[in-house]
Structure 1
């Protein structure tokens, strides 16, 4: 049994594109990652950016997966920053474990030929085949997108008080947040220190173009008995046309950790989200942060999408 990869014939591109578009939209709907027309719009924008020149787009390669002349499916890949990204993996037939192993071997060979040393795949919670491919083959969770919907009413009395961040506090917060996010990007294995610094700065400027006065951004300090114990940053979004809050940063001060403030601040984030009209709240967490993942899941957050990384 030998799994082989070959370029998608040009006369199959239109059919592949239509099928892939429908698949990507369905994965977002079925996982709950996006709802309604949001999924269609996001996928169309994604495809337009990633395949600006169709099959001739130099940054993307679409390959067929074959086993002894039998067509098993397709894989869409892109390479960047030393990582081979599996943008989409679509099986036309249900593969067995040998065929999954064969695909990984073929991808390893492709990666070696293109001088990349890691393979990455993002898998939605509704993508059983994607999960089966990543399971048991050395992939590690690099990051997770999570959602809590609806935001529950909890009876627990507030343990921390959150107050709007002042412009004076914002200056030090922004610098520390950008540096910490860059460090996390490096720790996740997806970026070099240099690229992480660039990406962290790009995202900070994108979210906070006008600093603390940026529209849709809510920044707080968390206090206990008048002493600051952490910071909280919520970005307001929409989800299916309804207000949605996203936790962009939450940090307990180093000297205040292991006292339950992380949980208390997440509950405060939920309360603030509701006050801002949000019916749902989402967040991103790096895979190495096991304690945070346990906390979020204990509060009812569910995994929408996981990005896996394999060092080869």
Structure 2
């Protein structure tokens, strides 16, 4: 193996950090994941949290990728809880397939040294070289961030009634939604079953600290002829200074699937987003949920960022 990953020389840190900050901002803005100052703030947060002391920081490391005398780019890595995270991969040339193989082999070696069980890398849709790296080398899509913008003018079918969730219905929704999310987190491979339960509980309490009364949270049930067929949970966000609707949970009852109700719930999301002043809808979907991805893309949602995982 001739490709080596070695620490970035200290003399290059200032130039690297300026270029990387600019790259992180540009990728987020061009993808649509973050707009304007939001992308700038997120990039700044990465540096302040992961490289507070520059190259002397312990939370992450910056490496130079080289094949002999030829520099291929740089790699910013973090490690936590048995996982190695590729924070940024910046390739200055287009490596050959064999060089990409060696980069992944070197990553595996680093991960083994960290006693990690997986390598994780997030890639924006326009990152062609990053996708070349993961393609065909054992990585799988763990999760996808998607966006619908602008909102189409689509109505909910008359026979599907999507109305605000009642206080009586909420406790069962809370139990089932939290449990289902924990199962999905574990199935994605990003968390152990035990970790998934804790993370699901944390996120649920963060989003709904006051239950149905939590400001900015909209919960609904869908019924047909008085029979419940699904639920919908929308959290309102700010995106580029504009209201943005984010789908936190959408579920069709197990005995009501394959009847088109999932599509109607998505149409209801568009209706409610417009009512709340939003002109975009975002969502997160786990990579294993092929049916949901197909539905969303068929409705016009586009992929912004994909999280890939390599199990070790």
Do the structures match in fold with TM over 0.5? yes
CA distance in 1, matches of 2:80, 2:194: 14
CA distance in 1, matches of 2:108, 2:168: 50
Q: What are the ranges of 5 or more consecutive residues in structure 1 without an aligned counterpart? A: none
Corresponding residue number in structure 1 for 2:40 = 40
Matched, 1:25 2:25: yes
Counterpart contact for 1:4–1:65, Cα < 8 Å: yes
Q: 1:159: how far off?
A: 4.3
Corresponding residue number in structure 1 for 2:205 = 205
CA distance in 2, matches of 1:53, 1:248: 36
CA distance in 1, matches of 2:198, 2:95: 40
Corresponding residue number in structure 2 for 1:171 = 171
Q: What are the ranges of 5 or more consecutive residues in structure 2 without an aligned counterpart? A: none
Aligned residue pairs, count: 312
Corresponding residue number in structure 2 for 1:87 = 87
Corresponding residue number in structure 2 for 1:157 = 157
CA distance in 2, matches of 1:46, 1:168: 42
For normalisation by structure 1, the TM-score amounts to 0.96
Corresponding residue number in structure 2 for 1:261 = 261
The correspondence of residues 52-71 of structure 1 with structure 2, limited to 5 A, is 52-71=52-71
Corresponding residue number in structure 2 for 1:291 = 291
Counterpart contact for 2:155–2:268, Cα < 8 Å: no
1:249-284 Cα deviation digits (max 9, x unpaired): 001111211211111111111111111111000100
Q: 1:155: how far off?
A: 5.2
SS in 2 for 1:150: coil
Corresponding residue number in structure 1 for 2:215 = 215
1:64-114 Cα deviation digits (max 9, x unpaired): 111113221111111223221111101122222121111011111111122
The correspondence of residues 294-305 of structure 1 with structure 2, limited to 5 A, is 294-305=294-305
CA distance in 2, matches of 1:202, 1:157: 35
Q: 1:50: how far off?
A: 2.4
CA distance in 1, matches of 2:269, 2:2: 52
Corresponding residue number in structure 1 for 2:122 = 122
CA distance in 1, matches of 2:158, 2:285: 24
Matched, 1:112 2:112: yes
Counterpart contact for 2:84–2:119, Cα < 8 Å: yes
CA distance in 2, matches of 1:10, 1:145: 35
1:118-153 Cα deviation digits (max 9, x unpaired): 111100011111111111112111100000000100
Counterpart contact for 1:160–1:268, Cα < 8 Å: no
SS in 2 for 1:271: helix
Counterpart contact for 2:159–2:225, Cα < 8 Å: no
Bigger shift: residues 156-165 or 170-179: 156-165
For normalisation by structure 2, the TM-score amounts to 0.96
SS in 1 for 2:267: helix
SS in 1 for 2:168: helix
CA distance in 1, matches of 2:99, 2:34: 31
